[in-house]
Amino acid sequence: MIKTRAPQRDLEGMEARRKRAAKLFAKGVTQADVARELEVSRQSVSRWHEAWSRGGTTALKGAGRAGRRPLLDRADLATVEKALRRGPRVSGFATEIWTLPRITELIATLTGVTYHPGHVWRIMGQLGWSPQRPARRALERNDDAIDEWVATRWAQVKKTPVAATRGWSSKTNQASR
C-alpha cells in the first residue's frame, strides 16, 4: 500500500536554523544576507529578527509539536496491534475477518478510546496494515452452475457489436442501399 502521509517536519532542524540566524544577527549581518545564507524567505528572517530583538535567542525557541496530541500513545498502539495479530476470533468475533467497525470496537475495549470507523482507517495505516481481499472464495460458490450459465444464458444476454451501435440493424442497412 502506498502511504500518502505528508513528510514530518524537522522541528529540531528548524529551531537550529533560527538559532543560527540569532548568531548572525548578533554579528550584525543584514536580514537579506541571513535569508540568503540560510536559504529561507526574507519574511521569515524579518519575523525572527523582530522576535530576537524583543527576547533574544530564547524568543526563537520552537513551540514544539503542532496540532492535537493523539489519543493513543505508542503503548496503546502496540496493545491494539498485538490483539489484531491474534485474530478476530480471539477477540470474540464470529469470523476471521477484521472490519473497521470491529477494529473500532477492539480499540474501545482495550484502551477506552472511541473513534469513528473512518478514522480507524488512518490508524491502521500508521500501524502498516492495509486492506486485504479474502484468500478463499465464498462457500456458496457453485462453479458448475456458473459454467452452465456462461455456456447457455450469456450468449442470449450479451450485446453484439451490430446491436450495440445506436440505430443500426441489418434491416435498416439493407433498406438504405
Percent of the chain residues past pLDDT 70, beyond the cut: 83
3-34 confidence digits (pLDDT tens):
555 566 788 888 899 999 999 999 999 999 99
The contacts of residue 5 (CB under 8 Å, 6+ apart) are 125
Return all residues near 109 (Cβ < 8 A) that are at least 6 apart: 91
pLDDT at 113: 93
pLDDT one-digit tens code per residue, 42-53: 999 999 999 999
pLDDT one-digit tens code per residue, 130-168: 887 766 777 788 889 988 888 888 877 877 666 555 555
What number is the average pLDDT over the span 62-83?
86
Dist CA 115 CA 156 (whole Å): 50
Q: Where are the domains of the chain?
A: 11-60, 69-165
Q: Model pTM?
A: 0.48
CA dihedral for 53, 57, 58, 63, sign (positive or negative): positive
Cα separation, 151 vs 134, in Å, equals 28
Q: Which three cell numbers stand for residue 110?
A: 482495550
177 has pLDDT over 50 = no
